[in-house]
Structure 1
Amino acid sequence: MVVEYRDVPIGFFKGWCMRFMLRGRYRIRRTERKIYVYQMHVRLEEGVYLHVFYRNFREIDGGLYTLRLETRPEHFERFTDILGELRHVASGIDFVSCDLAYDVPYALGDVFVAPNDMRRKLRKHNDTRYFGLPHQRKQNGYCRVYDKALELWQRHGIEYMGSLTRIEMVYKPETRIELADVGRYPPEQNRHYFASVVEDWSVFTAKLVERIRNWQLGEETYTRHVRETIKKTLAERLIDFNRLASERWKEILKQPCAAILGHTAT
């Protein structure tokens, strides 16, 4: 999750950095500067981190600049000691973006995901499907689809009983939304992707199975007519991203917003 603090004085920022460095709780290292003058990785413990970015290179004049924070939503509450000062000095706090995960209890090969905009290219690495190029990772609608059960085992040694596919999508509104109001703007990601679950491949003809598989794996995109036929065929088991996101959106925001704002978002 990414948030931005507006109009943070440079004098405050330097003092703020010095204070949490002296506390000794964090391991801090400078990271490569690409877009911001100051970039730091603040680590509390293994896997619990905060990326800090201050003063975009485009911000030339004045002594008030943008400060950006990025971490997992559940990690913000671990940094409340250094977040409290920020919310009192900034002129406002904006929601920038976050990744949303949709877990589907089916095997990866049985979960069909296709972009509505055919200009969005599919890439594959091992069995993971990426919709978008590497440099588009932070852009709205970037998506990856992978075997979550396999990842749990390989990375964490956790054995998941059954199949589990994860669809991860970036939500980055075109205009900034004040963090206190972001609960009223749940993602509408159906406009980016069509997704469905195939429970029984045997009900389809061999030709239709081949077409679905080819489009699913990016080997053939076919004509618009064929694509619409496939969508109609798979519509019965549609994955409704808009409904799923709206049902959980405020719950997802509750914990990080409480840590950042000192109260929950609306």
Structure 2
Amino acid sequence: MLANVKLDKLVLEYVSIPLNFFHELEEEGEISNIRSNEGFHYHRCLQISKKGGAYIKFYYQSKYEIWKPFGKLRLETHPKHLSEFSTLLNRLKEICSDIYFVSTDVAFDIPLPLNNIFVTSNTGRQMNIFQGTRYFGGKGQRGKHGYCRIYDKREELARRGIVIDDELTRVEIVYKPTKPIKLEELLIEPPSLNNLYTGTIINLDKQVTPINKAILICLLSGKMAINEFSRHYRRVLKKHLDSQEQLDFDQMLQSAWIEQISIIKGFLL
């Protein structure tokens, strides 16, 4: 299956940034005080936006360390926006002691309807549905490793006034290592996502018994979760899923990871 794969939201961490540098940024964006981000309370938060939608967010220093003259600066943006802030990023590179990769969202855009894509967790995460989007991960887990959401990308684009003719489903998975990695040491080898999720392209035109077809329809529509069925039906269903076309997330990510991580490093190092 051909899919367009790209890295979406990118989070980095800059070490040993002086407080006076953060104050210099205050004139360029909208600043707010203490804010919680994934359970960590930052003393200052700042977002700088440009025309066309380019943005960059900064989170500076723990609220418990505001007395320190230097602190950690966490940066969040979309990789495609890095060129818009090249001057600022070059300045950060000059004054920091290290740059660490924290996380990124890996987005798979699959040219098929949402109801033809079935994804199951290999680590026991339960799927939830809200306003048509399927989530693996609860509230407060948005930036956690393995958080996943699946939605109708064509519909989402239409809400923003962008019309496309073809069907499009997005599967988005967060990759966050157990600890930040120095950007210069970030492995070119892409992470494995197949160990987190199994994706299947469902073709109901294939020979399927009525009862199993009904189960698949319930699962694809989000009316029921796979754990609501008995072990017997789950075993039978697995046989049907194994006979369908599989989504190999690792294979799809292979070339995109090498290319896009190289581009990111080119802007930041």
Q: What TM-score do the two structures reach when normalised by structure 2?
A: 0.85
Going from structure 1 to structure 2, the CA distance change for 1:95 and 1:205 (only over 3 Å counts) comes to same
CA-to-partner distance for each residue in 1:13-41, whole Å, 9 max, x for gaps?
33x426xx3xxxx4x11135222111001
Correspondences of 1:80-159 after superposition (within 5 Å): 80-118=86-124, 120-158=125-163
Q: Does 1:2 align with 2:6?
A: no
Residue identity matched to 2:240: T
Correspondences of 1:100-249 after superposition (within 5 Å): 100-118=106-124, 120-158=125-163, 160-216=164-220, 217=222, 219-220=224-225, 221=227, 222-223=229-230, 226-235=233-242, 236-249=244-257
What is the percentage of aligned positions where both structures have the same residue?
Answer: 31
Q: Does 1:66 align with 2:67?
A: no
Q: Does 1:39 align with 2:45?
A: yes
Cα offset for 1:135? 0.9
CA contact (8 A) 1:54 1:66 kept: yes
Find the aligned partners of 2:67 and 2:207 in 1 and give their Cα distance. 65
More strand by share: 2
Cα offset for 1:117? 2.4
Residue identity matched to 2:113: A
Q: Does 1:13 align with 2:26?
A: no
CA contact (8 A) 1:10 1:65 kept: yes
Residue identity matched to 2:115: G
CA contact (8 A) 1:38 1:55 kept: yes
Residue identity matched to 2:248: D
CA contact (8 A) 1:132 1:142 kept: yes
Going from structure 1 to structure 2, the CA distance change for 1:184 and 1:218 (only over 3 Å counts) comes to farther
Q: Which residue of 1 aligns with 2:30?
A: 29
Q: Which sits farther off after the overlay, 199-208 or 89-98?
A: 199-208
CA contact (8 A) 1:122 1:130 kept: yes
Find the aligned partners of 1:257 and 1:105 in 2 and give their Cα distance. 29
Residue identity matched to 1:38: R
Q: What TM-score do the two structures reach when normalised by structure 1?
A: 0.85
Q: Does 1:51 align with 2:60?
A: no
RMSD across aligned C-alpha pairs, in angstroms? Answer: 2.1
Cα offset for 1:225? 5.6
Q: Which residue of 1 aligns with 2:4?
A: none
Q: Which residue of 2 aligns with 1:264?
A: none
Residue identity matched to 2:177: P
Find the aligned partners of 1:31 and 1:230 in 2 and give their Cα distance. 50
CA-to-partner distance for each residue in 1:158-201, whole Å, 9 max, x for gaps?
2x222111101111111211112324242211111111101334
Q: Which sits farther off after the overlay, 80-89 or 214-223?
A: 214-223
CA contact (8 A) 1:183 1:250 kept: no
Helix, strand or coil at the partner of 1:96: strand
Residue identity matched to 2:137: G
Helix, strand or coil at the partner of 1:150: helix
Find the aligned partners of 2:64 and 2:240 in 1 and give their Cα distance. 49
Q: Does 1:253 align with 2:261?
A: yes
CA contact (8 A) 2:188 2:261 kept: no
Helix, strand or coil at the partner of 1:140: coil
Cα offset for 1:252? 1.8
Q: Which residue of 1 aligns with 2:85?
A: 79
**Contiguous gaps of at least 5 residues in structure 1:** 262-266
